[in-house]
Amino acid sequence: MNRLQSKLGLELPLLQAGMGGIAGPELCAAVSRAGAGGALALHKEPPDRVRDLVSQVTAATSRPFGVNVIPEVTGPAACRAQIRAALQRLPRNGFVTSFGLPDAEAAREVVRAGHVLVIQVGTVRDADEALQRGAGVLVVQGTEAGGHLLGELPAARLLHDVRTRHPDTVLVVAGGVATGADLAGALKRGAHGAMAGTLFIPTSESTAHPDYKQRVVEATSHDTVVTTVFDIGWPARRHRVLRNVLTEEAERRPTTFIATTMVGARNVPVPRYSASVPASGTVGRVEEMAMYCGCSCSRVRGRDMAGSVVERFRREFEAARRFRVRTTKGVSWTRRSNR
Summary mean pLDDT of the chain: 94
- Cβ count within 10 A of residue 266: 8
For residue 140, being part of any structural domain is answered with: yes
Give the pLDDT confidence score for residue 303 in this predicted structure: 83
Same domain, 177 and 223: no
Q: Which domain holds residue 8?
A: 3-206+303-322
State the average pLDDT over residues 235-240: 94
* Residues 152/142, Cβ–Cβ less than 8 Å: no
For residue 233, being part of any structural domain is answered with: yes
pLDDT at 153 > cutoff 80: yes
Distances in Å between the Cα of 130 and the Cα atoms of 81, 104, 116, 123, 145 are 20, 9, 13, 10, 20
For position 19, which CATH number holds?
3.20.20.70
* Residues 155/123, Cβ–Cβ less than 8 Å: no
* Residues 50/69, Cβ–Cβ less than 8 Å: no
Give the pLDDT confidence score for residue 324 in this predicted structure: 64
Give the pLDDT confidence score for residue 273 in this predicted structure: 98
State the average pLDDT over residues 32-43: 98
For residue 335, being part of any structural domain is answered with: no
- 306-322 and 25-33 are packed helices; what angle lies between their axes, rounded to 10 degrees? 40
For residue 181, being part of any structural domain is answered with: yes
Give the pLDDT confidence score for residue 184 in this predicted structure: 96
Is the pTM for the entire model greater than 0.85? yes
Confidence band of 193 (pLDDT split at 50, 70, 90): very high
Same domain, 134 and 245: no
Cα–Cα distance for residue pair 239/275, rounded to 1 Å: 9
Cα–Cα distance for residue pair 1/128, rounded to 1 Å: 26
Domain tally, the chain: 2
For residue 329, being part of any structural domain is answered with: no
Same domain, 200 and 216: no
Give the chain's length. 339
Same domain, 65 and 176: yes
* Residues 53/20, Cβ–Cβ less than 8 Å: no
Same domain, 199 and 272: no
Same domain, 165 and 281: no
For residue 153, being part of any structural domain is answered with: yes
3-state DSSP: the chain helix, strand, coil percent, rounded to 5?
40, 25, 40
pLDDT at 312 > cutoff 70: yes
Closest CA to 273 of 290, 259, 286, 260: 290
H-state helical runs in 136-257: 155-165, 180-188, 210-218, 245-248
pLDDT at 332 > cutoff 80: no
Same domain, 170 and 287: no
- Cβ count within 10 A of residue 329: 4
For residue 125, being part of any structural domain is answered with: yes
Same domain, 175 and 248: no
Residue percentage of the chain with pLDDT more than 90: 91
Same domain, 125 and 7: yes
Same domain, 50 and 166: yes
Closest CA to 116 of 98, 133, 94: 94
Give the pLDDT confidence score for residue 38 in this predicted structure: 98
Cite the beta strand spans of 122-272 per DSSP E.
137-141, 147-148, 171-174, 193-196, 224-227, 239-242, 257-263, 266-271
Same domain, 219 and 247: yes
For residue 327, being part of any structural domain is answered with: no
Measured in Å, how far apart are the chain's first and last C-alpha atoms? 7
Same domain, 163 and 83: yes
